[in-house]
């Protein structure tokens, strides 16, 4: 394409026409050019001022928005700091409660251990007392059995002596059937026979 363009340009013939007017008004040309440049400069200045004004307004709005965002962020940070302070206070309170509960649990465990030891000791004492009571009961039962055997033997002996005494009082050769016995006993009743 560049080669074609160069070929096209080389083939183009340029026709120049010259004004042979030698009386050129350079002052008017300079004034006209100056006026055009001033107009361009004013237009450029106006456009630049308008652009700067719009940018300034845009930056002012953006700065105001950022200022509002900054104020909102500061308020949020203040509120979060208050919440953090409140939560720290609650955490300290809960920690104190946990410490108190742990102390109470340790105290209760210690008291429970002591109570358990005391209960075990009392249980051992009660078991010993029960064993001793069983032994005493067995001994007393044995003594009671022995006493009962002695009582039965004495009852049998007493019955035997009574019969012997009754037989001696009612034997023949004594006083009459209603007399007094020789050794001062009760008189024989009608039940006493001659034999």
pLDDT at 3: 78
pLDDT at 178: 39
- Mean pLDDT, all residues of the chain: 81
Alpha carbon distance 105, 110 (integer Å): 8
Show Cβ contacts of residue 146 under 8 Å, excluding neighbours closer than 6 positions: none
Q: In a 3-state reduction of DSSP, which class is residue 12?
A: coil
Is the pLDDT score of 192 beyond 80? no
Average pLDDT over residues 139-154: 95
List C-alpha distances in Å: 151 to 137, 162, 175: 20, 16, 36
* Overall pTM > 0.85: no
Alpha carbon distance 83, 88 (integer Å): 8
pLDDT at 44: 86
Q: Per-residue pLDDT tens for 16-36?
A: 455 555 556 788 888 888 888
| Residues 192 and 163 sit within 8 Å (Cβ to Cβ) | no
DSSP state of 186: P
For 102, list phi and psi in degrees, rounded to 5: -65, -40
| Residues 121 and 129 sit within 8 Å (Cβ to Cβ) | no
Q: Per-residue pLDDT tens for 47-81?
A: 888 888 888 888 889 888 888 899 999 999 999 99
Structure-block tokens of residue 13: 């013939």
Q: In a 3-state reduction of DSSP, which class is residue 31?
A: helix
Alpha carbon distance 195, 189 (integer Å): 14
Q: In a 3-state reduction of DSSP, which class is residue 21?
A: coil
Is the C-alpha dihedral spanning 171, 176, 182, 185 positive or negative?
A: positive
Looking at the chain, list the stretches that DSSP marks H as alpha helix, in order from N- to C-terminal side.
Answer: 2-11, 26-169
**Where exactly are the structural domains of the chain?**
26-167
pLDDT at 140: 95
Average pLDDT over residues 106-124: 92
Alpha carbon distance 176, 195 (integer Å): 13
Is the pLDDT score of 193 beyond 50? no
User: Is 13 or 178 the better-scoring residue by pLDDT?
Assistant: 13
Average pLDDT over residues 105-119: 91
């Amino acid at each position: 394409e560049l080669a074609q363009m160069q070929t096209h340009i080389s083939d183009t013939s340029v026709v120049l026409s010259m004004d042979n007017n030698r009386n050129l008004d350079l002052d008017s040309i300079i004034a006209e050019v100056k006026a055009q440049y001033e107009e361009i400069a004013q237009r450029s200045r106006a456009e630049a001022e308008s652009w700067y004004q719009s940018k300034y307004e845009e930056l002012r709005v953006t700065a105001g928005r950022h200022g509002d965002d900054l104020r909102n962020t500061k308020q949020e940070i203040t509120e979060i700091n208050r919440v953090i302070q409140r939560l720290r206070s609650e955490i300290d309170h809960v920690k104190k409660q946990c410490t108190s509960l742990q102390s109470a649990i340790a105290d209760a465990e210690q008291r429970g251990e002591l109570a358990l030891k005391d209960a075990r000791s009392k249980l051992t004492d009660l078991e010993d007392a029960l064993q001793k009571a069983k032994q005493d009961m067995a001994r007393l039962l044995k003594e009671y059995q022995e006493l009962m055997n002695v009582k039965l033997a004495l009852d049998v002996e007493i019955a035997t002596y009574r019969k012997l005494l009754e037989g001696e009082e009612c034997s023949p050769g004594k006083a009459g059937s209603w007399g007094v016995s020789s050794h001062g006993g009760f008189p024989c009743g009608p039940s006493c026979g001659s034999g």
